[in-house]
Structure 1
Amino acid sequence: MKALEKSIYVEYPVSRVFNKMILSEIESYDGTKKEQLRSFLEDLQRMGCISGMIGDFIYHADCKKFYIAHLDDLENIREEIEQSLGEAVKNRHRLPHYTFMCWLCFEEYCFDIYRSAFE
């Protein structure tokens, strides 16, 4: 799916894992692949990972495993986000760091795909 190749974060190996997660999650949406992707991304923007809509990121233990496996990519993505914002990203919900990082990076990755494919 071409839209998944448009992210500025595509250089990070974790993007391939994120893409698999996205493709798995959009199966439950109606329409063409592009319509499914758009609906999924809009739902994620509205509800976020905190809603439990991303099966791989519901449990802290799963987030911890994912974070450990992709630590460098996730921390580098966070640094890029902070550089573009000009300030540190705050963990407002006081989540465990690994859960916060998984949610932050996945949401940002998806928002970036939405911006490049649908805006």
Structure 2
Amino acid sequence: MAAGGFCKLPNGTVVVALNLPYGPARVRVLVHAANRARALTRLRNLGLRAVYLRGNAEPPTPDEITAVLHHPDGLVWRTAPTADGVPATELWHPIRALLRRPAAVG
């Protein structure tokens, strides 16, 4: 289960944003797809089986939408903002970098 949200674009597609646990930290994953179900299926097909979107508590920001729309795969991630709201300063990474990166055991 993950906190997140979605935004429907004028062309009918959606951008889904999810905060997922990854080792001791959390990552923010963005997916561009035809609909919410397809976005979650894309993540499940990559091995993230227990991914669900409940509600729309944390929809993607305009900057996040721009980042995922300009990426050729339409699937990016970076470290999630901290609990006190400090945003991540790193750049967006392709999902392949997350899947091959070993999670730190804490």
Give the alignment's TM-score, normalised by structure 1: 0.27
In our comparison, the structure showing a higher alpha carbon Rg is 1
Q: Kindly indicate whether structure 1 or structure 2 has the higher relative contact order, using CA contacts under 8 Å at least 6 residues apart.
A: 1
Compare the two structures and name the one with the higher strand fraction: 2
